[in-house]
């Protein structure tokens, strides 16, 4: 599930929109800021070599970008390349390229999309070439595929790799042993490897400053998530939410830019709340809120806006989601902490959503359904991702049993368009929403 | 190209009884014991002792034995189980092993177990561990996190902590508290079992016509629910008998089969490869038995848990679920091929097995660079259509025989 959405394109902008559809709505200031943030970032990456900057590839969930930032290292996050390729309709070609090179149809499409992109010249989302890594930082959180992914990349780049093995949280508890294991790896292996690439020592004060800024952004992000408790919700916590996590899940956590982005986003959301407005959708202001849903599972990136519209046009708002917690779960109280730098980085890595055992995932979803007063919940089960998908049918039953709220189940994929059956998905969504409607009628009667 | 007809497995001259028939029949009985009757019998003979199941690939069985527990290796339901409920727990794009395991559990076939361990191998087994807690909240189960960081001061310490945690949890459920002497003895029994397994492998490599892989598979698998000493005795009985066989040597192609370390192919699939003219001289079926390459070191006064942890770090074999740091991917497979004197490799991965299938292109590249021919197939534990596999393996063995390559 890796992932974070990111920059461009913003709602209403992806190529999934049919030409005859309404023009993209005017963007909020935070959207423009995010777009500029990522444009600048890719520009910086494009010129990293000339500028003498060092580049570290790492993954979204459990990344330690504060450390990279404190050492002036530039992160590249391959999952973001993959999802960006999908939003730009390039993933099919990249996946085909990887399968031609011997990669199985059965495995995670993020990996294949990234490898195919690499084989096609490693051109990033803004059309510029991504720099090769000076180091692969394999932070191994919530999914075994990450390990294979970097083994594959190592064969392409022949650069050093440093691993951060993050233990799994099967029982929803971070034990002292787990934390110590991660902290010791950070202290004795990850930081020295980063310092070697950076050619300088880690400045502890700079790390603390960054962790303090992470915390500020996290506070604001949680306020944004929690705004969805109101009726109508001023945000869509899944489709819209993937934009909100862009900066904080990727290269920017710990930066001034991220602080400014989340401050601005929060104030916009609070203004919408005061005005009683719903979320912004691909078609502009949302239809009146009719259904409040919680979502489990990653989105489909190849038909992102089409998928969103299947709900937004029916007045279905996603009030909360687990996918938007894959790169950090802040609304259960965790914050990066300048007073405990490495310990809080360890807790962050350990606490990402798919690093939690299934019982904890069910408990979190149950809590979201109750706290956000959801009428239903939806599971988008993606073929690519065993980390998310294995067990989701039991999650469905368990949640229905515990909450009495009906669940819907859809199957698609992250970036492989072959597995997005539009008509089938649309039928399922329609039937599900009709069922919610009928249920509502029955309980009103 | 069709398969070259090859004679049946290690046939004794027609009129003479196969001296290995007895051990093989016993092995077959144990392997087909789906409802764990042998475990029930063991528990009846050891009142109060725990039987602890474990998923692939690797769990340190001597630790369990040292606490008077019976370790029971679970490999899914194979082709013997009709999936009635299991499918409703897993989407079609997830491998078969977890659905048949759930099927067995829901049908009560695993009721003899007092607990189950889910070692860190992949996201599916990991999540299956979570499902177990939801499905069977009153039964003991635990995830065993295996370290990917192989530094003794980091991953080694973490893993030893994990083993101590499991030990505490089992004692809380009635297992005998761990004593150093008992652990040392259990490690010694495990080493003796492994000696027998290695002797079996060595004979198979030397004379595959005497010990076909399908038989070696059966006698290894028979140990799933046996204490190490009993398994060793069965292995030894089979080995002794195999040595007494009157056999004919056949001109088959020597292959290594790799990729089936977790979900197991049906036995018929292994036989099919043999019938297609392949002598499987090395494989990673049921990898847990051979996960440690060499005996677990023992020493007077050593802390047994530290010994087990260190053995995992130092002796663990190269496989898809284990991070190999700076080592070259595929180099270990090339070494195995050379050591076994094999002429080619058959990749046999379970469908939708991410670890095996993501590993495979890297291994293929290493084989290509080393000039070792290979072919690949996918299976599931209940694969019934074997004709295509037979033709593919036959074509591969013919090509290797004729040209020394798969071209
Ligand atoms: S399997 Fe899932 S979590 Fe892992 S890399 Fe693929 S999409 Fe991300
Ligand atoms: S067969 Fe592969 S994917 Fe399935 S449980 Fe085993 S290792 Fe995991």
Residue pLDDT, tens place only, A292-338: 999 999 999 999 999 999 999 999 999 999 999 999 999 999 999 99
Interface contact B91-A392, CB threshold 8 A: yes
Which of B83, B129, B130, B365 to substitute to test the interface with A, most A CBs within 10 Å? B130
Provide the shortest C-alpha distance from residue B205 to chain A (in Å): 30
What integer is the mean pLDDT of B67-82? Answer: 95
Please state whether the peptide bond connecting residue B57 to the residue before it is cis, i.e. omega within 30 degrees of 0: yes
Write the residue in B120, B124, B151 that is nearest to A390 by C-beta. B124
Are the beta carbons of B340 and B206 closer than 8 angstroms?
no
For residue A177, give the nearest of B121, B158, B349 by CB distance. B158
Q: How far is CA B120 from the centre of its chain?
A: 15
Distance CA A223, CA A235 (A): 11
Which pLDDT score is estimated for A25? 59
Whether the pTM exceeds 0.80: the reply is yes
Q: Do A390 and B353 touch (CB under 8 A)?
A: no
pLDDT score of A342: 98
Report pLDDT digits (tens) over A396-405: 999 999 999 9
Please report which confidence band the pLDDT of residue A51 belongs to, taking 50, 70 and 90 as the band edges: very high
Q: Which of A102, A165, A391 sits opposite B149 (nearest CB)?
A: A165
CATH code for the structural domain at A45-203+282-444: 3.40.50.11900
The average confidence (pLDDT) of chain A is: 93
Average pLDDT over residues B379-401: 95
Closest ligand 1 atom to residue A109 Cα is 6
Q: Is the CB of A353 under 6 A from ligand 1?
A: no
Number of neighbouring beta carbons within 10 Å of residue A206 = 16
- Answer whether B257's CB lies under 8 Å from B284's CB: yes
For residue B8, pLDDT over 90 is answered with no
Does residue B285 surpass a pLDDT of 50? yes
Q: Give the per-residue pLDDT at B406.
A: 56
- What is the rounded average pLDDT of the residues B259-277? 97
Domain ranges of chain A: 45-203+282-444
Indicate the pLDDT class of residue A18, thresholds 50, 70 and 90: very low
- What is the edge-to-edge ordering of all strands in the sheet holding B70-73? B70-73, B51-54, B115-119, B140-144
User: Chain A: nearest CA to B356, how far in angstroms?
Assistant: 10
What confidence tens digit (pLDDT) does each residue in B292-303 have? 999 999 877 789
A297 CA distance to ligand 1 centroid (A)? 11
Is the CB of residue A212 less than 8 Å from the CB of residue A292? Answer: no
The answer to which of A4-18, A112-126, B339-353 has the lowest mean pLDDT is: A4-18
The dihedral region occupied by A120, where left means phi > 0, alpha psi between -120 and 50, and beta the remainder, is alpha
pLDDT of residue B302: 86
The continuous run of DSSP H or E covering A331 comes out as: none
Q: What is the pLDDT of residue A124?
A: 83
Mean pLDDT of B308-325: 95
Q: For residue range B101-134, list pLDDT tens digits in order.
A: 999 999 999 999 999 999 999 999 999 999 999 9
Burial class (CB in 10 A: 0-12, 13-18, 19+), B92: exposed
* Ligand 2 binding pocket includes B121 (Cβ within 6 Å): yes
For residue B144, pLDDT over 50 is answered with yes
Per-residue pLDDT, averaged over B349-361, amounts to: 97
What distance in Å separates residue A336's CA from the closest CA in chain B?
A: 23
Q: Nearest C-alpha of chain A: how many angstroms from B97?
A: 12
With bands split at pLDDT 50, 70 and 90, how would you rate the model's confidence at A81?
confident
Element (H, E) at A386: helix A386-389
Tokens of B373: 């021919």
Between B299 and A176, name the one with better pLDDT: A176
Q: Which B positions 77-96 lie with beta carbon below 8 A of chain A?
A: 88-91, 93-94
Distance in Å, CA A247 to ligand 1 centroid: 19
pLDDT tens digits along A407-431: 999 999 999 999 999 999 999 999 9
- Residue B330: CB within 6 Å of ligand 2? no
User: Is residue A178 within 8 angstroms of chain B, CB to CB?
Assistant: yes
**Percent with pLDDT over 70 in chain B:** 95
């Amino acid at each position: 599930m890796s992932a974070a959405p990111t920059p461009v394109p913003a709602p209403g902008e992806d190529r999934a929109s049919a030409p005859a559809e309404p023009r993209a709505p005017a963007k909020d200031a935070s959207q423009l800021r995010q777009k500029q943030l990522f444009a600048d970032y890719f520009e910086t990456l494009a010129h990293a070599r000339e500028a003498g900057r060092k580049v570290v590839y790492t993954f979204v969930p459990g990344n330690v970008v504060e450390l990279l930032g404190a050492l002036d290292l530039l992160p590249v996050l391959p999952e973001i390349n993959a999802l960006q390729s999908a939003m730009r309709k390039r993933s099919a070609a990249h996946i085909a390229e990887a399968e031609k090179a011997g990669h199985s149809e059965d495995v995670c499409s993020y990996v294949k999309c990234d490898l195919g992109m690499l084989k096609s010249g490693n051109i990033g989302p803004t059309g510029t070439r991504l720099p090769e890594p000076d180091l692969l930082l394999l932070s191994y959180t919530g999914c075994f595929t990450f390990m294979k992914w970097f083994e594959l990349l190592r064969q392409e780049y022949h650069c050093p790799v440093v691993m951060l093995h993050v233990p799994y949280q099967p029982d929803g508890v971070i034990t002292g042993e787990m934390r110590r294991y991660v902290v010791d790896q950070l202290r004795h292996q990850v930081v020295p490897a980063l310092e070697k690439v950076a050619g300088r020592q880690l400045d502890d004060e700079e790390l603390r400053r960054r962790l303090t800024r992470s915390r500020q952004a996290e506070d604001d992000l949680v306020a944004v998530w929690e705004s969805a408790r109101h009726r109508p919700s001023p945000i869509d916590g899944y489709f819209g939410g993937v934009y909100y996590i862009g900066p904080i899940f990727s290269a920017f956590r710990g930066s001034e830019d991220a602080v400014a982005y989340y401050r601005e986003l929060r104030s916009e959301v609070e203004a919408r709340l005061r005005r009683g407005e719903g979320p912004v959708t691909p078609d502009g202001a949302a239809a009146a809120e009719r259904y409040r849903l919680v979502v489990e599972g990653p989105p489909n990136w190849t038909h992102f806006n089409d998928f969103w519209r299947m709900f937004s046009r029916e007045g279905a708002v996603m009030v909360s989601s687990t996918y938007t917690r894959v790169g950090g779960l802040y609304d259960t109280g965790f914050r990066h902490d300048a007073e405990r730098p490495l310990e809080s980085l360890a807790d962050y890595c350990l606490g990402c959503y798919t690093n939690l055992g299934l019982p904890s995932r069910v408990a979190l979803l149950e809590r979201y359904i109750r706290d956000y007063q959801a009428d239903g919940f939806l599971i988008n089960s993606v073929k690519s991702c065993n980390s998310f998908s294995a067990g989701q049918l039991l999650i469905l039953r368990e949640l229905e049993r515990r909450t009495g709220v009906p669940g819907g189940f859809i199957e698609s994929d992250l970036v492989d368009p072959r597995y997005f059956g539009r008509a089938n998905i649309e039928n399922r969504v329609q039937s599900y929403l009709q069922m919610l409607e009928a249920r509502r009628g029955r309980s009103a009667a | 190209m069709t398969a070259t007809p090859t004679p049946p497995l290690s046939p004794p001259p027609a009129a003479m009884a196969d001296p290995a028939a007895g051990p093989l029949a016993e092995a077959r009985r144990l392997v087909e014991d789906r409802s764990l009757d042998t475990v029930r019998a063991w528990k009846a003979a050891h009142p109060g002792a725990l039987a602890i199941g474990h998923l692939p690939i690797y769990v340190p069985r001597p630790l369990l034995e040292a606490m008077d527990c019976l370790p029971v290796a679970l490999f899914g339901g194979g082709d013997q189980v009709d999936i009635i409920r299991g499918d409703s727990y897993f989407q079609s794009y997830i491998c078969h092993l977890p659905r048949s395991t759930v099927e067995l559990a829901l049908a009560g076939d695993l009721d003899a177990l007092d607990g189950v361990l889910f070692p860190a191998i992949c996201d599916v087994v990991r999540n299956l561990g979570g499902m177990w807690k939801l499905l069977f909240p009153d039964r003991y189960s635990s995830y065993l996190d295996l370290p990917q960081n192989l530094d003794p001061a980091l991953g080694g310490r973490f893993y030893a902590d994990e083993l101590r945690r499991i030990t505490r949890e089992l004692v809380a459920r009635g297992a005998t508290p761990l004593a150093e002497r008992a652990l040392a003895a259990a490690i010694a029994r495990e080493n003796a079992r492994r000696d027998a397994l290695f002797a079996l492998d060595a004979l198979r490599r030397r004379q595959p016509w005497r010990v076909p892989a399908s038989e070696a598979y059966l006698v290894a698998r028979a140990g799933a629910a046996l204490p190490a000493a009993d398994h060793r005795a069965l292995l030894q009985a089979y080995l002794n008998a195999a040595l007494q066989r009157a056999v004919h040597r056949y001109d088959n192609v020597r292959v290594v089969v790799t990729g089936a370390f977790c979900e197991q192919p049906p036995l018929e699939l292994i036989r099919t490869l043999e019938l297609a003219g392949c002598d499987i001289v090395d494989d990673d079926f049921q990898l847990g038995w051979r996960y440690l390459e060499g005996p677990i070191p023992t020493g007077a006064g050593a802390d047994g848990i530290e010994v087990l942890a260190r053995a995992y770090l130092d002796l663990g074999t190269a496989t898809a679920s284990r991070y190999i740091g700076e080592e070259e991917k595929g180099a270990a497979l090339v070494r195995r091929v050379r050591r076994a004197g094999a002429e080619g490799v058959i990749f046999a991965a379970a469908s939708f097995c991410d670890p095996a299938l993501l590993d495979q292109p890297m291994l293929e590249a290493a084989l290509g660079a080393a000039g070792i021919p290979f072919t690949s197939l996918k299976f599931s534990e209940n694969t019934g259509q074997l004709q295509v596999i037979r033709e593919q393996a036959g074509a591969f063995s013919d090509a290797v025989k004729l040209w020394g390559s798969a071209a």
